[in-house]
Amino acid sequence: MACLLVRALPEDAPLLSAIARVAKQSVGYPDAWMACWVEALTVPRAALAAGLGWKAVDARGVCCGFVCLAEGGVTGEWVVDFLFVLPGVQRQGLGRKLLARARDEALQRGGHRLVLDADPTAEAFYLSQGAKREGATPAPMPGQPARHLPRLAWTFKTQAQGKLA
């Protein structure tokens, strides 16, 4: 899909949050779970003010998806905090493009690792993009107290080349 990636601004937070909710709901999660995720699916304006978010805009000016980064818990580690694509334009390469943008930004900021706790339905996508599974993060939900999210990571071979291992 032909989209231009542009830096997301703080005023984009409500729109990006709505895209996150629509994309997450399209997987078929129960309404009770969606209600639990309202805060988690709200894009913080501060992240956008810090220049850590990009939106994909099509030729009509419509935002079709976005990605946001956050600094990780260790030096040189960056976290994909959000990566969502609207259901109608999924599987057209936009997720790959957004992920590549996140990788490039992490590298520009001196990163050596990119990590995320993936939605289980998106794990195959991230693995196809070179992620390695590093375990799981507990994410209990009503009716599934043992639910976990796959913890995925990319390690940059060299910062200069921007390659992922």
What does the pLDDT look like over 120-157, one tens digit per residue?
999 999 999 999 999 999 999 999 999 999 999 999 87
* 159 — pLDDT class (breaks 50, 70, 90): very low
- For the chain, what are the domain ranges? 4-155
pLDDT at 2: 83
pLDDT at 158: 54
Cα distances from 129 to residues 25, 57, 82, 97, in angstroms, run: 23, 22, 16, 11
Q: Which DSSP symbol is given to 156?
A: B
Query: 155 near 78, Cβ under 8 Å?
Result: no
Give residue-wise pLDDT tens across range 56-77.
Answer: 999 999 999 999 999 998 888 9
CA–CA distance, 46 with 82 (Å, rounded to integer): 14
| Residues ≥6 apart with Cβ < 8 Å to 52 | 68, 69, 70, 81, 105
Q: What is the CATH number of domain 4-155?
A: 3.40.630.30
